[in-house]
Amino acid sequence: MGEASGIEVVVFDVLGTLVDEPGGLRTALREAVPTADTTPHDHLASVWQEYVARQQARIGRGDRAYADSATLDGEAARQVAQLAGVTDPLTIERLATASQRLPPWGDSVAGLADIARHFPVIGLSNADRATLLRLSSYGGLRWHLALSADDARACKPAPEVYRLALDAAGCPPERVLMVAAHAWDLRAAQAVGMRTAHVRRPAGDPPRDTDRFDARFDSLEELASAARGGRFL
């Protein structure tokens, strides 16, 4: 089937594409801050994600030395705990591991397993190795290989992160499909020669009118159906 579509390997973004990152953070915050009378859980989750995104951008610009996702999550957890008035060390420690317990989107488990029956599947994420291990166990996600940006000591969208997947795939970049809910992720994958497919998610980064991705899907079920029919792109 891979030959019929011209694709040999499928690479998936994880956070936001396969798992509901904001929803999982809100759940962890409700556990840590049951009432959140003064600062809503939605706002705290946004503060968390914006903090991590800013720090990863600083790393990308060379304004900060590389730090893995566990470090950044720990910093974000302490920041939102301070905003919410949480001081218990054990509560903050558990909150810092919230990214290990993000729930899959409703179609992720079955869709990913279906695609993995036809193609080698790689998870490629800014999440550190331990987080990827626990995420796959927690959510029942099936991939053949999970690669962390840790291995490149960089954060997506740095090109060296995508080259990890290309090196592992062992085939020309035009035969590797990058699947993500974030248009910025796909633009960076295009820049190293990968083919691209956008999957729509509630918290994703939608394509611009100027984006020319190879395919767009409303769900992983739709993507898996295309894979089964040998008509990925």
Q: What is the pLDDT of residue 233?
A: 64
Indicate where the chain has its CATH 3.40.50.1000 domain(s).
2-20+102-228
How many of the other CB atoms lie within 10 Å of CB of 22?
Answer: 17
CATH class (in words) of the domain with range 21-101: mainly alpha
pLDDT of residue 11: 98
Q: How far apart are CA 162 and CA 142, in angstroms?
A: 20
CA 137 to chain centre: 15
pLDDT digits (tens, 9 = 90+) for 24-78: 999 999 999 887 555 688 999 999 999 999 999 999 999 999 999 999 999 999 9
Res 204: pLDDT = 83
pLDDT given at position 40: 87
Residue 1 pLDDT: 37
At 37 the pLDDT is: 58
* pLDDT score for 183: 98
For residue 189, the SS3 value is: helix
pLDDT of res. 38: 54
Measured CA to CA, the distance from residue 98 to residue 77 in angstroms comes to 9
Segments of the chain scoring below 50 in pLDDT: 1-4
Q: In Å, what is the CA distance from 58 to each residue of 145, 156, 183, 193, 203?
A: 28, 12, 20, 25, 23
Distance (Å) of CA 219 to CA 61, 176, 188, 199, 201: 33, 19, 22, 6, 8
Question: Which class is 2-20+102-228 in CATH?
Answer: alpha beta
State the span(s) of the chain assigned CATH 1.10.150: 21-101
Cβ of 163: how many Cβ atoms within 10 Å? 16
